[in-house]
Amino acid sequence: MAQQKTDPNYKIIAENRRARFDYFIESDLECGIVLMGSEVKSLRTGQCNIAESYASVEDGELYLINSYISAYKQAGVFGHDERRRRKLLVSRKELSRLWAAVGREGMTLVPLVIYFNHRGIVKLKIGVAKGKKVADKRETSAKRDWGRQKQRLLKQNV
C-alpha cells in the first residue's frame, strides 16, 4: 500500500463513502472498466460520481449502471453519454462467483472506489454487500460517535 501512495500515477477519482454506511461489505473485487476516450479524459479531471450506481450481471456480463462521468468539453461531437451502462472486466470465475452471490437473498454489487492504478489504468473496486437495517445503521453511527468521544477524552488526559 505504501507504494501506491508514493506512485504519481495512483489517484483516487471517486469514492462511494456512503456504501460502507448503508451496506455490510462481505468481500471486494478489483475489475477493469470499458471506457471511451472522452470518458478517460473526463476522469483525469476528476469529474465522476459513483454514489448512486450499482453493478449488475446481465446476459453473462457484468455492467456498471447509473454511474455519472461528466462530458468532456473538448470532445465535441465525439463525446459520450454521461449515464450509460459501462461494461466491467472480470474473469469468468469471478463473474460466476458474483452471479451466485447476487442470487442469494439481499446481496448486491456496490461500487466502492474508482481510481487510476499504478500503471495509469482506470480500475473499479466493487463490493459484494448486504443491506443494513435502520438499527444496524444506528449502531454504526453510535460506534463512530463513541470512537470520536474516546479520542477526545484521551487527548484531554495527555
Average pLDDT along the chain: 87
Characterise 93 by phi-psi region: left (phi > 0), alpha (psi -120 to 50), beta (else).
Answer: alpha
Among 149, 152, 129, 102, CA closest to 21: 129
| pTM of structure | 0.79
Q: What is the pLDDT of residues 116-137, one digit of tens each?
A: 999 889 999 999 998 888 888 8
Query: CA dist 128 to 19, 20, 52, 73, 157, Å?
Result: 11, 11, 16, 35, 41
The span from the CA of 5 to the CA of 32, in Å, is: 20
pLDDT computed for residue 127 by the predictor: 92
Residues 24-47, mean pLDDT to the nearest whole number: 89
